[in-house]
Amino acid sequence: MVTAIIGLQWGDEGKGKVVDFLASNFQAVVRYQGGHNAGHTVYYNGQKFIFHLLPSGVFCNQSTCIISGGVVVNPLKLLEELEQLAAIDLKIENFYLSEDAPLILPFHQQLDIVFEESRYSKIGTTRRGIGPAYEDLYGRRAIFIRDLKDEKQFRSKVEILLGYYNQIFKSFAARQMKLEEFIDDYLSAGSKLNEYIADTRKVIANLLERGKRILMEGAQGFLLDITFGTYPFVTSSHPGVAGIFTATGINHKELTRVIGISKAYTTRVGEGPFPTELSDDFGKRLRDLGAEYGSTTGRPRRVGWLDLVALKYAVRINGVDEIFITKLDVLDQLEEIPLAIGYQLKRERFSDFSPAVEFLEQVKPVYKKFKGWQKSLKNVRKVNDLPVEALKYLNFIAEFLETKIRYVSVGTEREETIVID
């Protein structure tokens, strides 16, 4: 009944395209964690759209789109996205926003920036206030979407929380913030969003009772998971399957299929270890071939070879049933393509991944090299039409991960995809 789409790397695996490609087989698409740190790119009628909050299924008319209570929401940003769609005359008919979604308020963003610029932490965050908003949730002082419904109560809750943040800002010699700077904008956004606010657990349960198929759209990637990722260089939520259960109200028996997404190589934005990183001119070439610039922040992404050790870890913990390889066409011109199949540290060889930063910063990848196909894959639609070198590369990945590769993307458009039966 429920299928999950999980990014298996450090985010930016191409989830926007994948969800858009698969959405027509589902009656609902649910964003279950993260916030507008995500940037899911979808090409629709030749036009590029980047969704930060809305589920990437919005272009499938029959899909219900849901933002669950696990997502931290900046209502102003959500409205901007809805307006972007209204500008092309697309009103999503069935859109639900969880009343339980914690709000991102302007002081969360200021704190995110203050921390990034302090000596305490330099994570390379998207500076959108994601971490501080989740901190408030776990600190049991969060303010939720549902609070926007009662103006008086909302003002009073925000005023108290702002007092707390201004104390922190004082100790960092950062700017004091005032309620008047933003409160009216939030209330006005709240009333515009009112028609969408719902108990999404009930909406989801009701869809399942009626036998509808639901797609859970993860944001970021599993190696950025707060528990399983390369802590502290992680995001503040659970991009893996665990995040679905803490956010949507479905139970583990209802999740019947997990599709893991991986690029044909690896990228990472922000700080943190990256064993297969290419820091040389070749890395720059690969970055340009793959247009690897952040869709949310525009930052150049760090690029490197595919790391099967890390991927195997993500596949196992998320119980991945099938793999969707994206951007295989980016490797079209390369003469040789290495795949990391182990790590070496001093004299010791490791075949298992550990997210410990100290370990990953020291290991050297052990590569198996593959001959490149040096042909354009853009027009390939059938697996049998793939060059033999590309097939060897894909087959090795599937065997190493002991998981079937079901889909291969060879371009940005929805139809530039190979389905392997």
- The binding track of 184-223 with respect to ligand IMP, each residue x by CB under 6 A or -, is -----------------------------------xx---
Which of 3, 98, 109, 126 contacts ligand IMP by CB under 6 A?
A: 126
**Beta carbon nearer to ligand IMP, 130 or 143:** 130
Of 1, 50, 76, 124, the residue at the interface with ligand IMP (CB under 6 A) is 124
Residue from 5, 6, 8, 11 in contact with ligand IMP (CB under 6 A): 11
Residue numbers 282-341 binding ligand IMP by CB under 6 A: none
Smallest gap from residue 60 Cβ to ligand IMP (A):
22
Q: How many residues bind ligand IMP (CB under 6 A)?
A: 21
Please say if 12 is a catalytic residue. Answer: yes
Q: How far is the CB of 39 from ligand IMP (least distance, A)?
A: 6
Name the residue nearer to ligand IMP (CB basis): 112 or 147: 112
| 158 near ligand IMP (CB under 6 A) | no
Cα–Cα distance, 14 to 289 (Å, whole number):
15
Select 27 or 276, whichever has its Cβ closest to ligand IMP: 276
Site string for ligand IMP, 228-267 (x = CB under 6 A): -----x-xx-------------------------------
Q: How far is the CB of 270 from ligand IMP (least distance, A)?
A: 2
Q: 20, 36, 40, 52: which is the annotated catalytic residue?
A: 40
> Quick one: which segment of 10-18, 154-162, 308-316, 411-419 binds ligand IMP (CB under 6 A)?
10-18
Q: Is 132 in the site for ligand IMP (CB under 6 A)?
A: no
The residue among 126 and 417 lying less far from ligand IMP, judged by its C-beta, is: 126
Which of 12, 112, 136, 225 is catalytic? The answer is 12
78: Cα separation from own chain's centroid? 16
Of residues 34-93, those binding ligand IMP (CB under 6 A): 37-39
When binding is defined by CB under 6 A, the residue of 71, 104, 130, 208 that contacts ligand IMP is 130
Out of 3, 56, 64, 125, point to the residue binding ligand IMP (CB under 6 A): 125
User: Is residue 40 annotated as a catalytic residue, yes or no?
Assistant: yes
The reply to whether omega before 55 is within 30° of 0 (cis) is no
Contact between 113 and ligand IMP (CB under 6 A)? Answer: no
* CB 218, min distance to ligand IMP, A: 10
Nearer to ligand IMP, 126 or 248 (CB): 126
| Residues of this chain, 350-379, that bind ligand IMP according to CB under 6 A | none
Single out the residue of 356, 123, 134, 105 nearest to residue 237, CA to CA: 134
Instruction: Label each residue of the chain as H, E or C.
Output: CEEEEEECCCCCCCHHHHHHHHHHHCCEEEECCECCCCCEEEEECCEEEEECCCCCCCCCCCCEEEECCCECECHHHHHHHHHHHHCCCCCCCCEEEECCCEECCHHHHHHHHHHHHCCCCCCCCCCCCHHHHHHHHHCCCCCEHHHHHCHHHHHHHHHHHHHHHHHHHHHCCCCCCCHHHCHHHHHHHHHHHHHHEECHHHHHHHHHHCCCCEEEECCCCHHHCCCCCCCCCCCCCCCCCHHHHHHCCCCCCCEEEEEEEEECCEEECCCCCCCCECCCHHHHHHHHHCCCECCCCCCECEEECEEHHHHHHHHHHHCCCEEEEECHHHHCCCCEEEEEEEEEECCEEECCCCCCHHHHHHCEEEEEEEECCCCCCCCCCCHHHCCHHHHHHHHHHHHHHCCEEEEEECCCCCCCEEECC
Dihedral (C-alpha) 139, 167, 113, 220: value to the nearest 10 degrees? 10
**Chain positions contacting ligand IMP, by CB under 6 A:** 10-12, 37-39, 123-126, 128, 130-131, 219-220, 224, 233, 235-236, 269-270
Supply the residues annotated as catalytic.
Answer: 12, 40
